[in-house]
Amino acid sequence: MKGKGRKLKKLILDMQGQLSERLEALADEEKKLKKALEYLAKGVEILDELEEAQARKRARTPRAHDPNSLGGKDLRAKVVEVLQNSPMPLAAAQILQSLTDQGLTPRSKDLLLVYLAEMAKQGEIVRPRRGYYTVPEAMENV
């Protein structure tokens, strides 16, 4: 019985050693996983900040009173020229098409509408009815 008891005791000690080695390996693995989680959390924060920055950038629209933001320095003169060459008031979409035909590329019809409204407030062009624009000289002939 003593021989079997020693073998059993040795077997138990071996198993205990193996289990403690496995526990140490698991503890090391746990540390690595915690570190990886920290890196992932930092990555998520960075992506969130980047996403917010991109959203802010998209939200920034060019100012309509700045001709450079819409299509070039001579946009104001081109708008007046297009309206002078037209016998009747033009809609914003027609003005946009004429400017595009001349090689200018205003960014959008909505921005062009804001730009035209500002030009009308300043007296450079006239708005005889909603959505249509012409030059003051054309209104004198009517």
Whether residue 73 has pLDDT greater than 80: no
Nearest-angstrom CA–CA distance, 38 and 73: 51
The full set of domain ranges for the chain reads 1-60, 67-140
Nearest-angstrom CA–CA distance, 100 and 102: 5
Backbone region of residue 131 per phi and psi (left: phi > 0; alpha: psi in -120 to 50; beta: other values): left
Whether residue 140 has pLDDT greater than 80: no
Whole-model pTM: value is 0.46
* Contact (Cβ atoms closer than 8 angstroms) between residue 128 and residue 134: yes
Whether residue 66 has pLDDT greater than 60: no
Nearest-angstrom CA–CA distance, 100 and 107: 10
For residue range 78-128, list pLDDT tens digits in order. 888 888 888 888 888 888 888 788 777 666 666 777 778 888 887 788 888
Architecture of domain 67-140: Orthogonal Bundle (1.10)
